[in-house]
Amino acid sequence: MNAETAKAISTKATLAESARTTPKRTLLICLALALALFVVCLAASLIGSERLPVTASLCALFRDGSVCGLSPEQGAILLDLRWPRILLAASVGAALAAAGAGYQALLRNPLAEPYLLGISNGAAVGTMIALVFLGTQAWTRSLMAFAGALCATFVVYRLARGRTGASPERLILAGVIVTTFLSSAIVFITTMMDATRIRSFNFWLLGDLSGSTSSLLAIAIVSTLIGTVVLGAHGRSLNLMMLGERDAFDLGVEVERVRLIVFLAASLLVGASVAASGSVGYVGLVVPHLVRLSLGSDNRTTIPAAALAGALFVVVADTTARTVIAPRELPVGAITALIGAPLFIYLLRRG
């Protein structure tokens, strides 16, 4: 064999290798992203209006803070304020990005996103109904958010679906209608609240990671894990659904069952994140788009990678939100929208 043919064969082999994703490649990508996420979370725990010493803070994660040389105040900031908030940010980011990837496959459109489709608003209405009428337990709040997200998903799906999947026009119109309808519902419920709570509510609606409780955090993390694993497990079916429900049916996908599961899993993800943190927008648009751009469209890779990258994205966005005008804070949703809206316009123009 001469050198040229050998070279041609090896180029062909590398080409063929990149033509599809393998379990090994997926695992490597996810491990790298998890490592990056861990490092970013550590860094985020040190940054803020109160700068914490690096080694002492790392040490305090494993041992008592006073042994490591942190003052009791610093220990409280680190463990009671920053880490819960970082974990919540990671959970919300993972949930929204994975849900976005799921909705995109289901609606066959990369512009689908829980916030823009009004699904986050559905979950917000559910949360508010729970708050106003059902008391303040974390689980009723999360359950109602899930129910609200599910109803909104169903309506958007029915409105947006055309014969060839959801066209961008149909999708955006469906999103606008559902969003505006639910926004007026939100206004209506807000008027039933006392004036002192309204301001904090407006902040929460834009995405606020500061006001969560430990039980909401626990529910959010568990729901995120369940939802992401369920969506990722259906990646192979979603790969075909993404190309068209008819084609998927012809190739053996039980379309109705998969659709129902994606509805439930994605609504669970959106519901859990909205109940804990309000509506953080555009995460489900930006993250899956970047992931697909760099890793391809196989949902068995895209969904877990989007979850990890989404966690990374929101942790960074929230750290920015609480440091950029410290000691005051921006809602994290303002940061994500600042990045997401231009990208949306770019994607729309590109067709």
Q: Which residues bind other proteins (CB under 8 A)?
A: 15-16, 18-23, 104, 108-110, 164-165, 233-237, 239-240, 242-244, 246-247, 249-254, 258, 292, 296-298, 300
Place of tokens 């639910």: 182
Give the sign of the dihedral formed by CA 71, CA 76, CA 78, CA 79: positive
Shortest CB 130 distance to other proteins, Å: 34
- Residue among 300 and 322 whose Cβ is closer to other proteins: 300
Shortest CB 293 distance to other proteins, Å: 8
- 321 and 331 Cβ atoms separated by less than 8 Å: yes
- Residue among 159 and 233 whose Cβ is closer to other proteins: 233
Long-range contacts of 245-251 (CB under 8 A, 24+ apart): 245/165
Q: Count the Cβ atoms, other than its own, within 10 Å of residue 76.
A: 13
- Residue among 202 and 239 whose Cβ is closer to other proteins: 239
Place of tokens 């959970």: 91
Distance CA 259, CA 241 (A): 9
Shortest CB 117 distance to other proteins, Å: 16
- Residue among 86 and 248 whose Cβ is closer to other proteins: 248
Shortest CB 3 distance to other proteins, Å: 21
Shortest CB 261 distance to other proteins, Å: 10
- Residue among 99 and 274 whose Cβ is closer to other proteins: 99
Shortest CB 264 distance to other proteins, Å: 15
- Residue among 193 and 264 whose Cβ is closer to other proteins: 264
Shortest CB 239 distance to other proteins, Å: 7
Distance CA 89, CA 265 (A): 19
Answer left, alpha or beta for residue 108, where phi above 0 means left and psi between -120 and 50 means alpha: left
**Rg over CA atoms, the chain:** 21
Report in angstroms the alpha-carbon separations of 138 from 144, 208, 345. Answer: 10, 16, 37
Distance CA 55, CA 61 (A): 10
Torsion of CA 197, 200, 206, 210, to 10 degrees: -130
Distance CA 292, CA 200 (A): 36
- Residue among 64 and 250 whose Cβ is closer to other proteins: 250
Cis peptide before 288 (omega within 30 of 0): no
- Residue among 38 and 346 whose Cβ is closer to other proteins: 346
Residue 346's nearest CA partner among 290, 280, 296 is 290
What are residue 34's DSSP bridge partners?
Answer: none
Shortest CB 257 distance to other proteins, Å: 9
